[in-house]
């Protein structure tokens, strides 16, 4: 089976600071790959690269046979029609109603009839439990609703690949579980490949086929939920058991940091 997404030796920088070090990953079609790591681990940066919002400093990213580093803008446009992205806060356009937000990709990228588009939008809103919210403005929605509306917009074109940034961040446990179930149902029915970025362990173990763990911009491990659970890596065990990072303290270096700030 050939990978639908493959990342080879990816390095990434913000200005002079390196945030990703030699990242490698292969994602199979129809697979749910969870990218897990704490804040500052580089997982958001990795997602930015997968969405071609940032170009790699070094290394190669291939999605559906296209090299993101050298893709033409026309090919990128076609590729993006096959990719759906649900952003952390929904990223709905604040000047449009929820319904108009969800229909935006269809209106720009297809020539379907208005009536067909109307029904498609309502089908997706029903799916996300947002029936009846079509004519509200994003500002009138709660955080969880915004997230679901963003997901509705992400899947409106029935993409082959769905990227989801922090599905459960900021949600109450019940809503979070519902969203996890929805993700699984979507994959089952539409056979979507999913890249899900999260720091929530429970949700990650529940939905993932495989999990990639990032620490400080480096890949600590890629494996099935069971393999991750049984890993000997101390940092991964700390992450699973929610222990704080108890690093060895170098007394002299610590004193120097406190006094000089270096």
Tokens of 78: 């076609």
Does position 178 bind other proteins by CB under 8 A? no
Q: How far is CA 44 from CA 114, 128, 166, in A?
A: 36, 24, 9
> Within the chain, where are the H helices?
43-50, 73-81, 98-109, 114-127, 143-154, 173-190, 201-207, 225-229, 234-240, 251-260
Does position 91 bind other proteins by CB under 8 A? yes
Does position 53 bind other proteins by CB under 8 A? yes
Give least dist CB 204 to other proteins, A.
Answer: 22
Does position 71 bind other proteins by CB under 8 A? no
Eight-state DSSP code of residue 90: -
Pair type for strands 210-215 and 32-36 = parallel
Rg (CA), the chain: 20
Alpha-carbon span 8 to 248, nearest angstrom? 32
Q: Which of 73, 45, 70, 48 is nearest to 60 (CA)?
A: 70
Does position 83 bind other proteins by CB under 8 A? yes
Does position 212 bind other proteins by CB under 8 A? no
Measured in Å, how far apart are the chain's first and last C-alpha atoms?
A: 50
Does position 156 bind other proteins by CB under 8 A? yes
Does position 55 bind other proteins by CB under 8 A? no
Give least dist CB 3 to other proteins, A.
Answer: 21
Q: Which of 110, 129, 231, 237: binder of other proteins (CB under 8 A)?
A: 110
Does position 210 bind other proteins by CB under 8 A? no
Does position 184 bind other proteins by CB under 8 A? no
Q: What is the per-residue binding string for other proteins in 126-155, x denoting contact by CB under 8 A?
A: xx----------------------x--x--
> Between residues 125 and 211, which has the closer beta carbon with respect to other proteins?
125
Give least dist CB 193 to other proteins, A.
Answer: 15
Q: Tell me the CB-side half-sphere exposure of residue 16, using CA atoms within 13 A.
A: 0
Does position 194 bind other proteins by CB under 8 A? no
- Dihedral angle at the C-alpha atoms of 226, 230, 236, 242, nearest 10 degrees? 90
If you count DSSP H runs as helices and E runs as strands, how many of each does the chain have, helices first?
10, 10
Give least dist CB 54 to other proteins, A.
Answer: 10
Q: Which of 75, 114, 185, 255: binder of other proteins (CB under 8 A)?
A: 185
Q: Which of 66, 81, 218, 229: binder of other proteins (CB under 8 A)?
A: 81
Does position 19 bind other proteins by CB under 8 A? no
Q: Which residues bind other proteins (CB under 8 A)?
A: 14-15, 51, 53, 77, 80-81, 83, 85, 87-89, 91-94, 104-105, 108-113, 115-117, 119-120, 123-124, 126-127, 150, 153, 156-158, 185-186, 188-191
């Amino acid at each position: 089976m050939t990978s639908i997404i493959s990342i080879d030796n990816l390095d990434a920088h913000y200005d002079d600071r390196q945030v990703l070090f030699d990242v490698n990953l292969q994602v199979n079609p129809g697979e749910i790959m969870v990218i897990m790591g704490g804040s500052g681990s580089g997982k958001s940066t990795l997602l930015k690269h997968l969405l071609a919002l940032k170009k790699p400093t070094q290394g190669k990213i291939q999605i559906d046979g296209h090299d993101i580093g050298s893709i033409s803008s026309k090919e990128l446009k076609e590729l993006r029609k096959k990719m759906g992205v649900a952003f952390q806060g929904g990223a709905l356009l604040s000047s449009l109603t929820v319904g108009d937000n969800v229909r935006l990709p269809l209106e720009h990228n297809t020539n379907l009839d208005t009536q067909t588009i109307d029904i498609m939008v309502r089908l997706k809103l029903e799916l996300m439990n947002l029936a009846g919210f079509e004519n509200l403005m994003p500002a009138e929605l709660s955080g969880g609703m915004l997230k679901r509306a963003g997901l509705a917009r992400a899947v409106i074109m029935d993409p082959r690949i769905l990227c989801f940034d922090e599905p459960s961040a900021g949600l109450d446990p019940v809503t979070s579980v519902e969203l996890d179930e929805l993700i699984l149902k979507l994959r089952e029915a539409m056979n979507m490949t999913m890249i899900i970025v999260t720091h929530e362990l429970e949700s990650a173990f529940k939905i993932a086929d495989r999990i990639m763990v990032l620490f400080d911009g480096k890949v600590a491990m890629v494996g099935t939920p069971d393999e991750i659970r049984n890993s000997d890596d101390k940092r991964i065990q700390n992450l699973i058991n929610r222990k704080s990072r108890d690093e060895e303290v170098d007394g002299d270096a610590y004193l120097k940091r406190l006094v000089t700030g270096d």
